[in-house]
Structure 1
Amino acid sequence: MALSGTPDSEENPANPNIGSTGTSSDVVTRRSLRPAATRSAQLSNRSHAAAVSPTASSSSPRSAAPKARKKKSGIINIAVMTLAVGLVGTMALPAYAFNPKSADSAQGASAAASLKKAHPQALAVSSEVAAASVTRDAVSATTEEELATRKAETARQQAAVQLASYAKAYSGPSVSDFLANPPYPSFSLAQVFSVAQKYIGTPYVYGGATPAGFDCSGYVMFVYAQFGISMPHSSTAQGNMGTRISIKDAVPGDLVIMPGHDGFYAGNGNIMDAPKPGGYVSIRPIWTSNYYIVRIGI
């Protein structure tokens, strides 16, 4: 029989919680304490859950997730509805919103209404200004006849000036000198044309009949005087002196006669003449069909 108080004895089990004075009913093992601890923890958890308010319990992760999804879905729906309303409103804008003329008309009407409401304004004009008379300048028209007369007078004055300077510029023999003592007593059209060519470049002078200046008939008269042939100082009279011949029979030295003008035929449809004021003796094409040929000396 084992002694009382020895290890592993049924009377003295190996339990530090048992005193030497404890009875068998006071002995509690670790295994027996486990169920009691479990129930105590469960009761504590239930009491804590009951003490928590409903608001706190609703904010738990499981309950907050569905509510967050619902809130996000609601925001999206509101945004979609706002966009739809904006599109419908834009499409429903009245036509005048895009018509600048309508807007201008509306502004004009508003301005007119403002003017109607404004107080009338008065403008004072002095009696001197009101009584001033209006005068107009007298306008007179110049007739064509008056213009022609003025033009002729201007030409005459210019010719007189030129003739005065022309008379001083030449001191050689005159037409009358040549007729008294012709340098070319033998007459030929070829020689007439050759003498006439010497004066190419002589300036035109109205009434001129010397190398200082020629007009058309003065040129012809001066050349033919050197052959002892006296001619009037007029293109028409010179044309009446000679004999008309066919244009195809004309040779250089014959006379080309046209209304108010004449000169020497230069061959190939050309004329050698003193043309007009500002011009010079030259050879140029005949510019008109209204002419005829006259030969002198036959």
Structure 2
Amino acid sequence: MTNAGPEHDRSTEVAVQFKAIASKLTLPTAPRISRPSAKSVRSGILSVAVMGLVVPGLFATVALPAYAFRSPDAAIQASGELETLKKADAQNLTVAGSASVLSASRDGFGATSPEELAAAREAEAAAAAAAAVAASGPSISDLLANPPYPSFDLASVASVALQYQGVPYVYGGATPAGFDCSGFVSYVYAQFGIALPHSVSGIAAMGTPIATEAALPGDIVTLPGHNGIYLGDGMFIDAPDYGDVVRVRPIYDSGYYIVRIGI
């Protein structure tokens, strides 16, 4: 049989006590026809009074909660365990030393100076020019070795120059893949067997300055740091600048002068 615990044992003990007390009590019997004696009346009242005192006490004892019967040793043990937990700081969490540790870092950054930007642009332009030369047709040296127009004529120079409208400006370019200003002039003249330097000042030094009124299409227009091929009526064709293409436009600076090659 399963032990029901301290509560069951206490209830059984109370029941036995109650039974023992009840067996000693003399309960009043049914009234007789005859008048009861004073002694019997007193005995009955006493019995009822005893029952009124004993029975509530017995039930109050049965109703006590189980923890009221807990032994002092158990309470002392529970209190000791609580103090142990407090001292041990049971809420602390121990992490193994082998656990992964995440680290955070910030990417570095720097500033680019205007000089570095300019150098980068020049390097890109030079690379583009080299690529243009590699992808183009005959070079200036090829044309000079075998000129397609062996007979020099200014009108023919102007006509050949017009064939390259729309070619993009490329710094250092001297082929139909891309021209800069002096590279364009040198390339056109090379087709007539005339070698010109790839330089605005060098070309101007090779030519003979003439009056503006005497200029003919095919002559060379020289401006500060720039040149092109004259077309007449204040117009010329040139390779303007970055982002532009070879095109016909008015001579934009009144400080220009004309040079002629071959005289």
The TM-score bracket by the shorter chain reads: 0.5 to 0.7
Kindly report structure 1 stretches of 4+ aligned residues shifted beyond 6 Å.
none
Q: Distance in 2 between matches of 1:269 and 1:192?
A: 17
Q: Counterpart of 1:230?
A: 195
Q: Deviations over 1:59-104 (max 9, x none)?
A: xxxxxxxxxxxxxxxxxxxxxxxxxxxxxxxxxxxxxxxxxxxxxx
% identity of equivalent residues: 58
Structure with higher RCO (Cα < 8 A, 6+ apart): 2
The answer as to whether partners of 1:236 and 1:259 remain within 8 angstroms in 2 is: no
Q: Distance in 1 between matches of 2:117 and 2:253?
A: 25
Q: Give TM-score, length-normalised by structure 2.
A: 0.55
SS at match of 2:236: strand
Q: Counterpart of 1:284?
A: 249
Q: Give TM-score, length-normalised by structure 1.
A: 0.49
Q: Does 1:154 align with 2:115?
A: no
Q: Counterpart of 1:211?
A: 176
Q: Distance in 2 between matches of 1:253 and 1:235?
A: 16
What's the CA shift for 1:152?
Answer: 3.0
Q: Which amino acid aligns with 2:127?
A: V
**Equivalent residue in structure 1 for 2:129, among 148, 158, 163:** 163
Larger Rg belongs to: 1
Q: Counterpart of 1:197?
A: 162
The answer as to whether partners of 1:264 and 1:271 remain within 8 angstroms in 2 is: yes
The answer as to whether partners of 2:133 and 2:139 remain within 8 angstroms in 1 is: no
Question: Across the two proteins, how many residue pairs are aligned to each other?
Answer: 153
Instruction: Give runs of aligned pairs for residues 172-191 of structure 1, distance below 5 A.
Output: 172-191=137-156
Q: Counterpart of 1:241?
A: 206
SS at match of 1:248: helix
Q: Distance in 2 between matches of 1:188 and 1:233?
A: 21
SS at match of 2:242: coil
Q: Distance in 1 between matches of 2:205 and 2:164?
A: 24
Unaligned runs of 5+ in 1: 1-141
Q: Deviations over 1:252-291 (max 9, x none)?
A: 1000001111000111111200000110000011111111
Q: Distance in 2 between matches of 1:270 and 1:283?
A: 7
Q: Considering only aligned residues, what root-mean-square deviation do their CA atoms show, in Å? A: 1.8
What's the CA shift for 1:154?
Answer: 3.2
What's the CA shift for 1:189?
Answer: 0.3
What's the CA shift for 1:223?
Answer: 0.7
Q: Distance in 2 between matches of 1:229 and 1:257?
A: 18
Q: Distance in 2 between matches of 1:281 and 1:176?
A: 22
What's the CA shift for 1:151?
Answer: 4.9
Unaligned runs of 5+ in 2: 1-111
The answer as to whether partners of 1:185 and 1:228 remain within 8 angstroms in 2 is: yes
The answer as to whether partners of 2:133 and 2:174 remain within 8 angstroms in 1 is: no
SS at match of 2:197: coil
